[in-house]
């Protein structure tokens, strides 16, 4: 395995290995989850970089992959399974999600009585656990997404609200394939949860509030319909995924897919060293991230870029700067420079301008100028 100095280089240096000649695995009729290795993906550096930045820093506000069928969007997202980092999970037995930071910020009253007692006795309120990748199926009902009354509890004449997919996605990745085909009510629920980091379910006299601090990853084929502007704005990084144009890359992609279909276990094993190294790099970068600061030059360059691009949404700066910090952390730097801003800028500012809003503001400027002219003639300053 070549020596690499950063996660970025690791992405670019991942190479093929001889795996077609490996003996076929025994088939005992059992199903095993063996996603295609992320490090075996050919090309598509921009897509892979965006996904890894989301793992390092969820504050980039997710990724949207836009492209035709068969370009590897869903495969790339699912292949993140072996790279997911560790995050703290609440050990609250009552399901309130009590965390140590709750006590540090709000005191003992900020957690339930049982967790307050545990904290006072020096017992941990959280444990480290691996991030999970949850997929939101297109046929999901609203109650599946936000939660509803538990059927099991109802059968016992009890009323209990059961957590939905959004609550289970807290501190995890939520993946929505064909996000442009979601129903409006589910889109609205996702938007509300993503904006607040929590949401409330009300069923009659019962109500429950759940944390929902998830990183949203979506993919779509624009041939099948456009995405509502409200949800498009919630995706920090936007990647246009085109088919591979280099014939050598396309041939290599075919060989790796054939190898995977022939013997998935051997394919995963062939890239195991690179996968482990990438996972370690992601965790190291994630741990370093709180210490990464933007230089004044980086801030100035980023603000000027957004201004010149005539982007109105403040989410552009948030995504741009948080992505630059994650990129610097991936390169083991504690300062994000203009070079880091430049590296992530296309991913962060793409598709943020609206022709409609541009025309709307232009019309408003004409009206404002007319108002001022009439005012000057009727009521001079």
How many residues are present in the chain?
381
Name residues whose C-beta falls within 8 Å of residue 127's C-beta, 6 or more positions apart in sequence. Answer: 88, 89, 91
Say if CB 148 and CB 203 are below 8 A apart. yes
Query: Distance between CA 103 and CA 156 in Å, rounded?
Result: 36
Which two three-digit tokens encode residue 119? 């904290």
Residue 360 burial (10 A CB sphere; 0-12, 13-18, 19+): exposed
Longest pairwise C-alpha distance within the chain: 90
Say if CB 49 and CB 340 are below 8 A apart. no
Residue of 89, 163, 213, 315 with catalytic role: 315
Which two three-digit tokens encode residue 48? 């892979």
Count of alpha carbons within 13 angstroms of residue 78, beta-carbon side: 11
Say if CB 54 and CB 60 are below 8 A apart. yes
Collapse the DSSP code of 219 into the 3-class scheme (helix H, G, I; strand E, B; otherwise coil) and give the result. Answer: strand
Say if CB 43 and CB 309 are below 8 A apart. no
Query: Distance between CA 50 and CA 238 in Å, rounded?
Result: 8
Query: Distance between CA 336 and CA 281 in Å, rounded?
Result: 17
* 22 backbone φψ class: left, alpha, beta (φ>0; ψ -120 to 50): beta
Active site residue 242: no
Say if CB 211 and CB 167 are below 8 A apart. yes
Nearest one of 110, 68, 3, 371 to 241, comparing CA atoms: 68
Cα 331–chain centre separation = 20
Query: Distance between CA 46 and CA 329 in Å, rounded?
Result: 17
Query: Distance between CA 26 and CA 358 in Å, rounded?
Result: 61
Which two three-digit tokens encode residue 89? 């999970």
Which two three-digit tokens encode residue 292? 């990464």
Residues labelled as active-site residues = 315
């Amino acid at each position: 395995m070549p020596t690499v100095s950063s996660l970025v280089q690791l992405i670019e240096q991942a190479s093929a290995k001889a795996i077609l000649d490996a003996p076929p695995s025994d088939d005992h009729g059992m199903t095993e989850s063996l996603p295609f290795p992320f490090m075996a993906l050919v090309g598509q550096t921009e897509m892979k970089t965006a996904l890894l930045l989301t793992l390092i820093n969820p504050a980039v506000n997710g990724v949207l992959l836009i492209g035709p069928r068969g370009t590897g969007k869903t495969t790339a997202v699912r292949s993140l399974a072996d790279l997911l980092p560790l995050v703290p999970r609440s050990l609250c037995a009552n399901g309130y999600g009590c965390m140590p930071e709750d006590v540090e910020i709000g005191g003992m009253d900020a957690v339930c009585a049982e967790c307050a007692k545990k904290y006072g006795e020096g017992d941990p309120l959280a444990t480290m656990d691996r991030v999970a990748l949850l997929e939101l199926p297109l046929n999901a009902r609203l109650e599946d997404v936000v939660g509803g009354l538990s059927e099991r509890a109802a059968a016992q004449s009890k009323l209990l609200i059961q957590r939905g997919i959004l609550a289970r996605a807290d501190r995890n990745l939520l993946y929505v394939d064909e996000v442009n085909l979601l129903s409006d009510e589910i889109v609205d629920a996702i938007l509300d949860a993503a904006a607040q980091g929590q949401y409330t379910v009300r069923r009659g006299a019962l109500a429950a509030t759940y944390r929902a601090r998830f990183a949203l990853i979506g993919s779509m084929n624009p041939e099948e319909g456009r995405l509502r502007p409200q949800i498009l704005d919630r995706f920090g990084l936007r990647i246009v995924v085109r088919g591979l144009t280099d014939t050598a890359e396309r041939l290599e992609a075919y060989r790796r897919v054939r190898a995977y279909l022939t013997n998935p276990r051997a394919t995963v094993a062939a890239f195991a060293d690179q996968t482990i190294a990438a996972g370690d790099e992601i965790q190291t970068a994630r741990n370093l991230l709180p210490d990464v600061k933007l230089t004044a030059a980086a801030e100035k360059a980023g603000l000027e870029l957004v201004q010149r691009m005539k982007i109105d949404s403040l989410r552009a700066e948030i995504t741009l700067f948080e992505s630059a910090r994650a990129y610097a952390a991936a390169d083991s730097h504690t300062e994000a420079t203009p070079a880091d801003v430049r590296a992530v800028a296309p991913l962060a500012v793409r598709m943020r301008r609206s022709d409609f809003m541009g025309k709307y503001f232009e019309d408003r400027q004409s009206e404002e100028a007319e108002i001022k002219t009439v005012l000057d003639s009727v009521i001079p300053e």
